[in-house]
Amino acid sequence: MRRNLLGRLYQDGEVVVRIGEPGDSMFQIQKGCLDVVVDEGKDLVVATLGSGDFFGEMSLFTHEPRSATVRSRGESRVLTIDETAFVRRLSEDPMLAYRILEAMFARLRHLNEQGVGYEGYRDLAAEGQP
């Protein structure tokens, strides 16, 4: 990795997080695109994220395993933010919590528009619907 660059470089198809893994960090995409996959066997992509987007925040709040696999589509650079850094950043910028909640609610709204809620990820995968 070159100096003065944050994050880790991922190649096409490389997994950043896998469904079911424990999670103690969140991620912000610095460049590139990543697919959010809820059923790897069926390759069911429910979202594509790009530069500036974040993911993995639910595990920081709930301390539950990852609810999806996220993998790189092409080359991407992703910054890892651990819980300590996240809490420190929240104390510096309380509006960050608002922006994260706003994004989380938008994701839930998107799933609801497809006829599923948060737990519906698994149902959606079972039905083979995007």
Record the tokens describing residue 66, joined without a space. 């990852």
Q: What's the pLDDT tens digit per position in 30-47?
A: 999 999 988 777 777 888
* Domains of the chain listed by start with CATH number: 8-120 (2.60.120.10)
Q: CA nearest 71: which of 3, 21, 125, 127?
A: 21
* Global confidence as pTM: 0.76
The two tokens of residue 36 are 């959010």
Tens digit of each residue's pLDDT (9 = 90 or more) over 56-79 = 988 888 889 998 899 999 999 999
Q: What residues are paired with 70 via a beta bridge? A: 17, 36
Q: Quick one: which of 59, 68, 76 has its CA closest to 36?
A: 68
